[in-house]
Structure 1
Amino acid sequence: MERRNVSRQAGVAPDGQEDLEQEPAHRQGGLGDDKINVCILLFLYVLQGIPLGLAGSIPMILQNHHVSYKDQAVFSFVNWPFSIKLLWAPAVDSLFWRRLGRRKTWLIPTQYLIGLFMVLLSSSVASLLGEDGGHPNVYLLTTLFFCMNFLAATQDIAVDGWALTMLSRRNVSYASTCNSVGQTAGYFLGNVVFLALESADFCNKYLRIVPQEEGLVTLSSFLKFWGVIFFITTTLVLLFKTEKEERISDEIGIRDTYVKLYRILCLRNMWLMVAFLLTCKVAFAATDAVTGLKLIEAGVQKENLALFAVPMVPLQILLPFLISKYTAGPRPLSVFLTAYPFRLAFGLLFAALLWWTHQVKLESGGFPVYYYIVILSAFALQQVTVYGMFVALMAFFANVSDPAIGGTYMTLLNTVCNLGGNWPSTTALWMVDALTFKACSEPTLSCDTKELAAKCVESGHECLIRADGYYVETVACILFGFLWLRWGRGAVRRLQNLPPSAWKCPSHARMKMVV
């Protein structure tokens, strides 16, 4: 590999982008020659979303195999690579083989490896999930999907950077559109479409005339199909798509990129911001991470739960535009604080809806139509509070990010924000079993451990849940949320009252004096 100087952080244009050559006048207006490039980018982002969607579907499949919530917590680590990709993004931007191309150096091997992972995994995923009668091998599943998402995150860094030179200057704004639309479509295919086609009940009800015992696809066949698509697509990109030569004279290297991060963290108010971001989502951990799994445990079919995403798509597209007019200005976090207590209230609402789920369940095992209408309405209303907080945070990040640091500043804030959502979710899943208290229907027996619970069942009795850890967690998280809100209001006031100069990074000379 060849090491070159860079300043472009993953997905963000470099400070010197305005120096790119102007497009000829006759090519201005419309996409022009960029139509093919937009299609290529869009499909690359779709491919990126496939492993993410599959990783999102595995917990629902595991829940049907009655794994513990600690196992679900272990598997939740597969979501972490996209939250910590800043750690290796400078290397992806800086190291490359000139003959292959700066972005293809990373794109080609990562996509081939993702395809290889999928093909190899397709031959053993059934046994790993315990479909042969054994217990799911959660740790090996976690390792494999973590590696696949690590590769997808690396591919994301390469594609984000390539988009800035693949598209002409006047069309570079389409890069973010390709990212959001493509990744969402890929996730939809790997999650919603897969779960629907994998379900025998769904296929027999909507897609078949003669009922069968299996769905139209299995996880094995789905993985193999997309593994082959990855191989074909990567080969076509390798052979037929060339990169434009990038200007690198004004760019800096890996070491200087990490120095930028250190300079940001030297700011006193940045530690208040980090504390704010790492704790603000603790109050929603049980609701966000556990509710869906509890609904499946209560009897809601996983494919029906996944299909809730379909009507959410237009809502998720419209909400940022509607909310953005309220977050414009110097105090966007005021919207964050306004939405916070309403999102807390949804924690209580979903706990009540889970209890109601058990009450309205039909003898056939299904649920009445009005049940799904109520649940879908609750999820839709919750999205208003979720996006209210999200858009407010993004607006604040844009306001305070020091332009002199380029995209590094914004990327760091986004990374911390993502971590602030991941670690509470993993912890919430891990603690559900520990906070659940069971008792054997026979008073002389116990269900305190797996061995004692098995003995209770073998004796012809059953373990009854006396206190569900989900409800315990929900109440604890909401209480924490109201306590956090008292501190959060003061923190927001201090952060929003800081002058712009407080967010400027110290110069190299000043840093040397501090050290």
Structure 2
Amino acid sequence: MPRKPGPAPMAVTSSLNSIHISPRTPKTPRNVGGDDESDVELELLNEEQRLEADRDVDEPVVHTPAKKPISAKDKRSMVLLCVLYLIQGVPLGLALGSVPFLLKEHLSYSQLATFALSSYPYSLKLLWSPIVDSVFFKRIGRRKSWIIPMQLIVGSLMLYISLNVQKLMQDPSANLIELTVVFTMLVSFSATQDIAVDGWALTLLSQDCLSYASTCQTIGLNSGFFMSFTVFLAFNSEAFAHKWGFPVLTIGAYLRFWAVVCYAVTVWLLFFKKEDKDVSAEAEMGIRETYKTIWTICKLKHVQLLVVVHLFAKIGFVAHEATSLKMIEKGLKREDLAAAALIDFPFQILGGWLAAKWSRGDKPLRPWLYAFWPRYLFGVISVITVYLFPPPPISPGFFAYLIGFTVFSSFTSTVQFVGISAFHTRISDPLIGGTYMTLLNTFTNLGGTWPKWFVLRGVDLFTIATCKIPEVKGEVLVKAKECVSEVGKKHCKAIGGACHIDRDGYYIVTNACMAFGVLFLVAFIWPSARKLQALPTSAWRLKQL
């Protein structure tokens, strides 16, 4: 989301009640990381070597059967995955969406960059994913051993925030550190739950429906994010509530509601959902061995190539996260933004479903690659939209334009997210599914996270603001860096002046990011992706020693 919007993003796995999907490759060895690189990586350079590698696989090579209809068991598993990802999306929507919008009225972009650090744990979960994959209680289940306590903690944290939110949000600049720490913890425990769900998803769905794991993730995460961002901002607006006759939804009441939902789903998992025994878990790897396995995976040349692609693929899009904030700054009402996102939501679900179908062929990265170009096009349009944004109130025609722009731009983003998640699901080794998936998704999410702090700081760094104070005989200009923040603007207004932005750093940072993104796409991402998707699945496995 990314894995997730993302975002960035986070395909999943799970086990069916009566069907065990045997690994298509030998089990991960106990002793990995030998000196001979040929024992670590499968070098599939020609057809002869490919046939030889296929003979090393436990299962014989078979022709792909005709597509079967989705079974009732798979449908139930998909619903479960959507619910579990929904619980993850709720805190992410708060930390990455609605709370920054609420704080923008009181904080500068540099201060928002500090709060943005709370999203980093979702991109760094690889650091503790081996523990989640290796330590569990057999009686409870390999994945439930982590999902149940993590959801209890997430619910308790949301309950704590709901009881203290008035104090924290009353003066956010004074409580910025506490706000950042609390939401960092919330995102961290949600990320831990995501590791377990990712591992469960690989065995929960049948092989024929495995490509829909990323679709379940898209539906669940987007739904949770949508409710915590779009729906909450709409019902939190006094104007929207007064117009439609609803009571104003406070952030405290919203958090208490989802705390109860977390508790309810956790109780259901504990007493009514039995996790089937994962046969692949019989070869239980210890924590140390799992970390060694991660290092072995990272030494595969094509994995290293994929990591480089992920770390820089989203730089061209990250700057646009400030676009919505700039529109709010120019007079777009929160309820109008929420309404546009509300209309957009069904198209996100449709995009996720279509991308999953497009990714089932022999070129799974094709939808991900093709979606780059319209995303950059919509990026240019968004910059022009901010520059030409009309003074409020906005006309119905311009609002319709915003809705259309939101729908098409988010559609391309969803296609990319599901496309790369489906690719990760296909190439991950089921034996260490949670760790392998988390390894790949970590770099995907990190590619959209690590530039965020620099982008938000850069907007303020390159912005030159002036506080103009009129006098009887002329005009006095006072250089005021604080004119960049909402607090500085209010102070300038209090002394009888008006803030004037001589140079807006938003345009400098956004154009620089897009220019780098286009060059990197043409020169590196496109040829690298075509090489990666041409590799057989066995090339991504670890060879048995």
Taking structure 2 as the reference length, what is the TM-score of the superposition?
Answer: 0.74
- C-alpha contact 1:127 1:136 (8 A) present in aligned 2: no
Residue 80 (structure 1) aligned to one of 110, 120, 129: 120
CA deviation digits over 1:419-441, x for unaligned, max 9? 11112233211211111111232
Moved more, 37-46 or 95-104: 37-46
Q: 1:11-22 counterparts in 2 under 5 A? A: 11-12=12-13, 17-18=20-21
Q: Does 1:91 align with 2:131?
A: yes
Corresponding residue for residue 513 of structure 1: none
Corresponding residue to 2:401 among 374, 377, 381: 374
C-alpha change, 1:143 and 1:403, in structure 2 (3 Å) is closer
Residues 264 and 297 of structure 1: CA distance in aligned 2, closer, same or farther (over 3 Å): same
Q: Whole-Å Cα distance in 2 between the matches of residues 29 and 320 of structure 1?
A: 17
The secondary structure found in structure 1 opposite 2:502 is strand
C-alpha contact (below 8 Å) 2:11/2:437 kept by paired residues: no
Distance 1:148 1:61 in 2: 18
SS in 2 for 1:129: helix
Compute the displacement of 1:183 (Å): 3.4
> CA 1:49–1:496 in structure 2 vs 1: closer, same or farther (change >3 Å)?
closer
Contact 2:369 2:526 in 1 (8 A): no
Asked whether the 8 Å contact 1:263–1:505 carries over to 2, the reply is no
Q: Distance in 2 between matches of 1:190 and 1:429?
A: 22
Task: Identify the match of residue 439 of structure 1 among 459, 466, 478.
Answer: 466
Matched to 2:400, the amino acid is: I
User: In structure 1, the residue corresponding to 2:466 is in which secondary structure?
Assistant: strand
After TM superposition, the structure 1 = structure 2 runs for residues 221-300 of structure 1, keeping only pairs within 5 Å, are 221-247=253-279, 248-287=281-320, 289-300=321-332
- Tell me how many residue pairs correspond in the alignment: 477
Q: Which whole-Å CA distance do the structure 2 matches of 1:407 and 1:228 have between them?
A: 27
Q: Distance in 2 between matches of 1:271 and 1:433?
A: 34
Aligned equivalent of 1:211: none
Measure the CA separation in 1 of the matches of 2:518 and 2:209.
Answer: 45
Partner of 1:417: 444
Amino acid at match of 1:58: V
Of stretches 179-188 and 71-80 in structure 1, the one that deviates more from structure 2 is 179-188
**Match of 1:277, as an amino acid?**
H
Q: Kindly tell me: are residues 166 and 337 of structure 1, through their superposed partners in 2, closer, same or farther at Cα, counting changes over 3 Å?
A: closer
Verify the 8 A CA contact 1:10 1:158 in the aligned structure 2. Answer: no
Deviation track 1:400-455 (CA, whole Å, cap 9, x = no partner) reads 66789766545422221121111223321121111111123245532145799898
1:10-409 paired onto structure 2 within 5 Å: 11-12=12-13, 17-18=20-21, 31=72, 42-55=82-95, 56-63=97-104, 65-130=105-170, 135=173, 137-161=175-199, 179-208=217-246, 215-247=247-279, 248-287=281-320, 289-322=321-354, 336=368, 338-357=370-389, 359=390, 361-362=391-392, 366-390=393-417, 393-394=420-421, 397=424, 408-409=435-436
Mapped to 2, the partners of 1:177 and 1:396 lie a distance apart of: 12
- Give the equivalent residue in structure 2 for 1:476: 512
User: What is the alpha-carbon root mean square deviation over aligned residues?
Assistant: 3.9
**Which 10-residue stretch deviates more, 167-176 or 270-279?**
167-176
Q: CA deviation at 1:294?
A: 0.9
Of 409-418 and 331-340, deviating more is: 331-340
Note closer, same or farther for the CA distance 1:180–1:200 as it changes in structure 2 (3 Å cut).
same
Q: Would the alpha carbon gap of residues 308 and 79 (structure 1) be closer, same or farther in structure 2, given more than 3 Å must change? A: farther
1:31–1:171 contact (8 Å) kept in structure 2? no
> What do residues 277-300 of structure 1 show as CA deviations (whole Å, max 9, x unaligned)?
21121122211x100111111121
Residue type matched to 1:352 in 2?
I
Structure with the bigger RCO (C-alpha within 8 Å, sep 6+) is 2
Tell me the distance in 2 between the aligned counterparts of 1:312 and 1:486. 30
**Corresponding letter in the other structure for 1:276:** V
Write the deviation string for residues 98-149 of structure 1: whole angstroms up to 9, x where unpaired: 455444432332222222212221122122112xx66462222121111112
- Determine if contact 1:114/1:227 at 8 Å carries over to the other structure: yes
Distance in 1, Cα, partners of 2:372 & 2:141: 46
| Deviation (angstroms), 1:334 | 6.0
* Alpha-carbon distance in 2 for matches of 1:166, 1:395: 15
1:279–1:207 CA distance, 2 compared to 1 (3 A): same
What one-letter code is carried by the residue in structure 2 that aligns with 1:18? I
The aligned amino acid for 1:193 is: V
* Contiguous gaps of at least 5 residues in structure 1: 1-8, 21-27, 209-214, 510-515
From the superposition, tell whether residues 270 and 329 of structure 1 become closer, same or farther in structure 2 (CA, over 3 Å).
Answer: same
Q: What SS does the aligned partner of 1:300 have?
A: coil
Structure 2 partner of 1:23: none
Distance 1:351 1:230 in 2: 39
The answer to whether the 8 Å contact 1:166/1:243 transfers is: no
Give the stretch that moved more between structures: 400-409 or 191-200. Answer: 400-409
State the shift of 1:66 in Å. 3.1
